[in-house]
Amino acid sequence: MGNASRGEEAGKHFELALRYKAGGNTDACLEQCNRAILLDPAMFVFKQLRGSVYVEKGDHQKALADLCAIPKQARTKDVWKYGGQIFEKLNLPVMAEFWFRKATKLSEPGDDEAAFAFQRIRVHRLYDPLTADFPVEVDFRQFGRAIFATEDIHKSELCFSDNAAVVSEIFVKREVKVKGCHHCVMSMLTAEQYFGKDLEEMEEGLKTFVNDHWPRVDPVTCKRCHREIYCSDACRDEAWEMYHQVICPSLSPERSKLYDIADKQGYFQDSDGDWSEPWDGHYSSLVLVQIWAAIVVQVKKLMKEKQLSSPTTEIWAVAKAPFRRFIAYGSLDAAKRMSSMVDLFKKMFADCGDGVSYDITNAEFNGRYYQATCNLQSFGSYVTPYHQFLDRLPETEDIRAFRLLKYVSKRCPDAPFAGLFPLQCCLNHSCDNNVEVSDGRGPNGRPGVRVTAKRDIKKGEELFTTYIDTTMPRRLRRAWLYKSFNFWCQCQRCQFEGDDSSSCTNCGAKADEGRRFPGCGKCHKAWYCSVACQKKAWKLSHKAICTQPHSEILNEVGVN
């Protein structure tokens, strides 16, 4: 049989295979594929079809053999997609991401199947290790990442806790600035800071008691620059190993200048005494340099492990991977607005030692800047020397402890920090949030954040926090969210609350000039043109966001 005849015969078997597959007869389809491939093994489309049948039958090894036998340049979107599905089932997420990414590049506009699969696998790879000990999971849905309950969570129960990837002090103007560890943020509040003038005016016996029982606060500093403050030698050493070795002010004038700017909360005074504001972010620029420094340190470690003199693209990718958990969005060119800071960062990271340099391009700066802008969470130490002091009072069995009670009732000043929390940052916003974020012990035992249920949360329900002050009226809430986070909120409150009495919250009808629609007598945040609209809104979801019982609402909402 000649080549032309063999090709023609192979084509007939292929057509039969397609018919059998369309009819659901995979065994017959497989038989025809085998015959076609025997006659014309160079036709990759035959192997693609047979590989897809093996995928359906769950024979992963044979499916991969067929798909991988197709040269990369000849692989279609479906080939890459089938490969991604196989690697996903084999629990090889990195390979699955690679194949789905290739499929995404070959997909037509509007065909998001491969892109969605890629994001879903990446999200689970990055976040499953963080949620292993908690009744939640991170998943990728229509609008991106979200956190869902994997079991029923009751009101006030812990949903999860989280530790920050990087931390920095918050810009605040206070008379009493409490020190906190620049690595673990543990408070180093002194008795003098807490009691203030009261300590000076106390009788000598009480003052002695306070000095004897207040926990010792012995800050240590970086041995080289003495500008970073830590609660212990352990934190100092760990900070150096993780990032400070790259950004220590003792290493260069640029690094020292950066710390001068951070100390002055974004301002800088030159040698002529003139002031400028090179950094206009609402958080410290040290957040960004800690990210870059942590990446550089990891690059150096990987180079050492692989005995390389220069980093590869793969090494950079691995080192940057932990910070892919933080999304970034923003439309303004921050690099253009803070060009002098970008120049400073470029000089700082041009030579990081050991043959490593980090090119801080405008795109890199903008990306990291908006990562911080979108994800930073304020927090502080969950336990302070003040709390430790209170715990000690009953144990002393000293009458002076009771005489001190009148001095220890005032609020404990905190050491405010901001941190990038990889799991907490996956919480989406709702003006009717069902979780609350507070200071607490993180998974590693150090200060972090705790996320607890504000009300009962059912299995499969999404967890929502709030990004803004939700006591504001609907119009202001939505404006703030759009301005700061680039989305119009569509939560239950925003859907079933109105802006004012000039329009019906349910149907949007406008009131006649000089007339106003009556509203909910309890929440005063919804207005209706008719009883029918009021009842419809109540059934749809106004009931869920209004604290007033249904019967009282019906009595108090009048209709003209």
Q: What is the pLDDT of residues 11-70, one digit of tens each?
A: 998 999 999 989 999 999 999 999 998 888 888 899 899 988 888 888 999 999 989 989
Residue 144, Cβ density class (10 Å: 0-12 exposed, 13-18 middle, ≥19 buried)? exposed
Q: State the Cα torsion 99-102-104-109 to the nearest 10°.
A: -150
Is the model's pLDDT at 169 over the cut of 90? no
pLDDT at 560: 31
Question: Residue 408 above 80 pLDDT?
Answer: yes
Select from 379, 413, 431 the last residue of a domain: 379
| DSSP code per residue over 176-196 | S---B-TTT--B---HHHHHT
Look at residue 511 and tell me whether its pLDDT is greater than 80: yes
Same domain, 202 and 333: yes
User: In terms of domains, do 210 and 329 share one?
Assistant: yes
Closest CA to 389 of 181, 185, 194, 179: 194
Alpha carbons within 13 angstroms on the beta-carbon side of residue 263 total 12
Query: Do residues 84 and 196 share a domain?
Result: no
Task: Based on the fold, state whether residues 125 and 217 are members of the same structural domain.
Answer: no
Instruction: Answer yes or no: is 543 within a domain.
Output: yes
Whether this model's pTM surpasses 0.75:
yes
How far is 520 from 539, CA to CA, in rounded Å? 14
Q: Is residue 532 part of a domain?
A: yes
Spatial distance between the Cα atoms of 279 and 265, rounded to a whole number of angstroms: 8
Query: What digits encode the pLDDT tens for the residues 57-72?
Result: 889 999 999 899 899 9
- List, for residues 69-105, the tens digit of each pLDDT value: 899 999 999 999 999 999 999 999 999 999 999 999 9
Residue 496 maps to a domain? yes
Does residue 337 sit in the same domain as residue 228?
yes
CA–CA dist 296, 291 (Å, integer): 9
d(CA 368, CA 376): 12
Same domain? 206 vs 120: no
Choosing from 345, 379, 413, the residue where a domain stops is: 379
CA–CA gap between residue 397 and residue 376 (Å, rounded): 44
> What are the tens digits of pLDDT across the range 113-148?
999 999 999 999 999 999 999 999 999 988 889 999
Same domain, 199 and 344: yes
Q: Is residue 269 assigned to a domain?
A: yes
Cα–Cα distances in angstroms (integers) from residue 447 to residues 325, 383, 457, in the given order: 20, 8, 26
Say yes or no to pLDDT of 558 above 70: no
Do 209 and 312 fall into the same domain? yes
Convert the pLDDT of each residue in 233-291 to its tens digit. Answer: 999 999 999 999 999 999 999 999 999 999 998 999 888 889 999 998 888 999 999 99
Q: What percent of the chain has pLDDT over 70?
A: 96
In this predicted structure, the answer to whether residue 540 has a pLDDT above a threshold of 90 is no
* Whether residue 209 sits in one domain with residue 94: no
The CATH number of whichever domain residue 8 belongs to comes to 1.25.40.10
Number of domains in the chain: 3
State the greatest distance between any 2 C-alpha atoms of the chain, in Å, as a whole number: 112
How many C-alpha atoms does 416 have within 13 Å on its Cβ side? 13
Q: How far apart are CA 304 and CA 65, in angstroms?
A: 36
pLDDT at 556 over 80: no
Closest CA to 365 of 340, 347, 345: 345
Mean per-residue pLDDT of the chain:
90
In whole angstroms, give the CA distance from residue 187 to residue 237: 18
Flag whether 428 is in a domain.
Answer: no
Q: In whole angstroms, what is the distance from residue 394 CA to residue 404 CA?
A: 12
pLDDT digits (tens, 9 = 90+) for 436-487: 999 999 999 999 999 999 999 999 999 999 998 888 999 999 999 888 788 8
Can you tell me the mean pLDDT for 300-314?
Answer: 95
Position 547 scores a pLDDT of 63
Q: Does residue 491 lie in a domain region?
A: yes
CB 462 within 8 A of CB 428: yes
Q: Does residue 318 sit in the same domain as residue 216? A: yes
Q: Does residue 279 sit in the same domain as residue 372?
A: yes
Binning pLDDT at 50, 70 and 90, where does residue 555 land? very low
Q: In the structure encoding, which two tokens stand for residue 475, read together?
A: 């119009």
* 3-class SS string, 376-413: EEEECCCCCHHHHHHHHHHHHCCHHHHHCHHHCCCCCC
- Tens of pLDDT, residue by residue over 174-200, are 655 789 999 999 999 999 999 999 999
Q: What is the pLDDT at residue 410? A: 85
The answer to whether residue 433 sits within a structural domain is no
End position of a domain, from candidates 137, 162, 178: 137
Residues 492, 367 share a domain: no
Residue range of the domain that includes 532: 474-556
Residue 24 within a domain: yes
What pLDDT digit, counting tens, does each position of 211-242 carry? 999 999 999 999 999 999 999 999 999 999 99
End-to-end CA distance of the chain: 90
